[in-house]
Structure 1
Amino acid sequence: MDDKLLQQNVIDELDFEPSIDSADIGVTAERGVITLSGHVPSYTQKVAAERAAWRVKGVKAIAQEIQVRFPGDKKSNDDEIAQRAIDILAWTSSVPHDSVHVKVQNGWVTLMGEVGWNYQREAAETSIRRLSGVLGVTNDIALTPAVQSADIVERINNALKRQAEVEASRIRVFVRDGGRVSIEGEVDNWEERRAVERAAWSAPGVRMVEDHLRIS
């Protein structure tokens, strides 16, 4: 029997069986071998799903990978975390729509994709860290340069001049390949140093900031 037809027959049999909630059961078929995946709310349904699959003509073997998730279990599963992550990113106005992709493995979330501003990159990570069940976040979101190097330097210098706590004439800004910004010069204290770093990150297209400032 064709694998695609066999797969559909098993799916239909699972849907037909009244004792099974088959909404979260996945079925694949390969040369007569059926793999059941996903989750059900009880061990009884897990057994019933396997029996239903065996009833289908053409099934030669079954790989049983269905998980039992009890209704009272508070543990967050990867697929649930992934869905909540997608939802919260869609609701986060500072993150461009469909710009960030999510991978979840054993509760650890990896963020991928591209955005134009560092604050968007940080906003995505901050939103995900609020979710229950998330054990950690790896932020692999890339920053896409949107302007030329000269424009980046001008924008950063203008930002420095606007800030009262920064003496802009003592700061030098250089832009390397790929939006890598180097800031050099002297500042009076750590607060001024942080203000200069924030100004450097404020320009679109900045992918990395190298702080070579000296506190005098």
Structure 2
Amino acid sequence: MSGSRSMTDREVQLWVQEELEWTPGLDSAGIGVSVEDGAVRLSGQVAGAHERSDAMRAAARVQGVTTVIDDLTVRPPEGSQAVSEEELAAAVRQAIAWVSTPPNSVHAEVTGHHVLLLGEVPWNFQRERARRVVERVPGVVSVESRIALIRRASAEDTAERIRHALVRTATVDGEHVHVAAEGTNVVLTGRVRSWLERSEAETVAWASPHVEHVENRIVVSP
């Protein structure tokens, strides 16, 4: 299969299935994969919130994927029903303490096996890291992050600096990504070849010290 031609939905489906099997720590046996016009739908059951996220990221890495639709459900591990909210909350607090966020900047509200993250951190990668580490706490079924970024000053050259960063990045074709900035809000548009490239462009934008919100409107067109 060559990257110079369009892949069929069947080829994309097979590659996604192989990528799911290739992903360490992910039990892909219970995950179904269907593809229509490059849009991948994942269905079935996984053992935890982290497996759900790992499966979504694995599918997004595959060539020919234009979007990933999450129809997965999480089954709590055996015996997790015996874990109280207080015990699960204590495990979540300990997990948050292990990541490099400012002390007491993130806290969690636990309802059943569902976790809501709140607070403020300086950088987007810190709130993403907090969400991912909590997803891996045994017994957690879902994680919703409402962690905000600490307010930051805007800059007149924000869009230009992000464009330069995109051009420097080997994993993104920066010539096909357009950046618009108003205050601390950034909008990304354009076309890229893969979902992974789309995600990387957003990561680059979040790295700006003058950005509080990124709206990613980039279209994937393999």
**2:186 counterpart (154, 175, 181):** 181
Query: Aligned equivalents of 2:201 and 2:172: distance in 1?
Result: 7
- Alignment match, 1:67: none
TM-score by length of 2: 0.55
Q: Which runs of 5+ in 2 are unaligned?
A: 1-78
Matches within 5 A, 1:95-174: 95-174=101-180
Other structure's SS at 1:133 match: coil
Instruction: Report the RMSD for the aligned CA atoms in angstroms.
Output: 2.7
1:127 Cα offset (Å): 1.0
Shift in alpha-carbon separation, 1:90–1:194, aligned structure 2, 3 A:
closer
Query: Aligned partners of 2:174, 2:102: CA distance in 1, in Å?
Result: 32
> Which entry has the higher C-alpha Rg, 1 or 2?
1
Question: Partner residue of 1:83?
Answer: 90
| Alpha carbons 1:197, 1:211 under 8 Å: kept | no
Structure 1: stretches of 5+ with no match in the other structure: 1-71
Q: Is the 8 A contact 1:166 1:195 kept in 2?
A: yes
Which residue of structure 1 lines up, in the alignment, with residue 202 of structure 2? 197
1:192 CA drift (Å) = 3.6
- The offset of 1:107, in angstroms, is 2.3
Task: Tell me how far 1:188 sits from its aligned partner.
Answer: 4.5
Q: Is the 8 A contact 1:183 1:213 kept in 2?
A: no
Query: Is the CA contact 1:201–1:209 (under 8 Å) kept in the aligned structure 2?
Result: no
Relative contact order: is structure 1 or structure 2 higher (C-alpha 8 Å, sep ≥ 6)?
Answer: 2
Amino acid at match of 2:203: R
Equivalenced residue count is: 143
Q: Runs of 4+ in structure 1 displaced over 6 angstroms?
A: none
The 3 A distance-change label for structure 1 pair 74 and 99 is same
